[in-house]
Amino acid sequence: MKAIAFVGPQGSGKSSVREGIQERLSEANKTYSSLISTGYYYSPFPINKIGKLTGLSIRSMDTTQIVLPFITLAGINTTILYPMAAYLEKRRNPDYLLVQRNPFYDTWAMGEVVLSGHKTLKKMSRLFAKGLASGHYDLLVHLDADPEILLDRIRERKGQLSSETGRKYHIHPYENHELLAQIREGYFQSIDEKVENNSLLRLNTDNLTLKETVEAVYQGIKSLG
C-alpha cells in the first residue's frame, strides 16, 4: 500500500485533485481508500460521529467570527482521531490510501494565524500534533497558489456550493488575503521542517488547470512504482 497525502492552504485544490486522482486510479483498476482528516466522512462508526465535533466547531467559528476557541477544539478533536482513522483505513489494505489534510501540517499552518503572538502555545500545539498525527507518506502533495488566486477560488467555491446545496456557504474568518498569506507560509515552514525532497511533490497551481494538476500528481504517484 502507498500512502498519499494532499496538503495546502484553503483554495489550493485539495478536494478537487484528490477526486481527480480517485477517478484515475479507478480507471487503472487500482483500489483506494480516502480519508479527510477534518470530517472523517468515510470512516466507520464511531469515528465518523465524533468527527462531527470538528464540523460543529468550524460552523460555530463562522457564526460568531471568534476563531481561537473553536479552531483549538477542532484541532484537538482532529489530531486525536486521525491516528485511529488512518489505522482503520490501512486495515482495508487498498493499493493506495489518499489522505486529504494532515493534523501536523494544518496545526502548524493555522497556528501562524490563530496563535500569532503566542510563541509558547504555538510550540506546544506543534509538538502535540507532531507526536500524535504526523504520519508517514510515500508521497506528500503540497498544493500552493498565490493568496489572491486562493481567495478567488474560495469565492468561486462559495457560489458553487451555495447553488448546489441551496445552503449559504460561509467564508471562514481567516479566509482573507492577509491571513491566507500567513497560512500559506505556515505550510512551507512545516513541510520544509519535516519532509525529505524525495517524498515531496510541490506544485504551484497559479497557472495550471485542474486537469494539468491532476495529471502531474498522477505521474508522481505512478513513479512510486
pLDDT for 40 equals: 83
pLDDT for 101 equals: 92
Tens of pLDDT, residue by residue over 77-130, are 888 899 899 999 999 999 999 999 998 899 899 888 877 778 888 888 888 888
Tens of pLDDT, residue by residue over 79-90, are 889 989 999 999
Q: Look at residues 40, 22, 140, 120 and name the one whose alpha carbon lies nearest to residue 82.
A: 40
Average pLDDT, the chain: 87
What's the whole-model pTM score? Answer: 0.88
4 backbone dihedrals φ, ψ, rounded to 5°: -120, 130
As a whole number of angstroms, the distance between CA 133 and CA 53 comes to: 18
Assign 10 a pLDDT band (cuts: 50, 70, 90): very high
Q: What's the average model confidence in pLDDT over 177-184?
A: 93
pLDDT for 71 equals: 80
Q: Look at residues 35, 50, 42 and name the one whose alpha carbon lies nearest to residue 137.
A: 35
Query: CB neighbours (10 Å) of residue 119?
Result: 9
Q: 193 versus 142: which is more confidently predicted?
A: 142
Domain 2-222: state its class. Answer: alpha beta
pLDDT at 164 over 60: no
As a whole number of angstroms, the distance between CA 52 and CA 166 comes to: 21
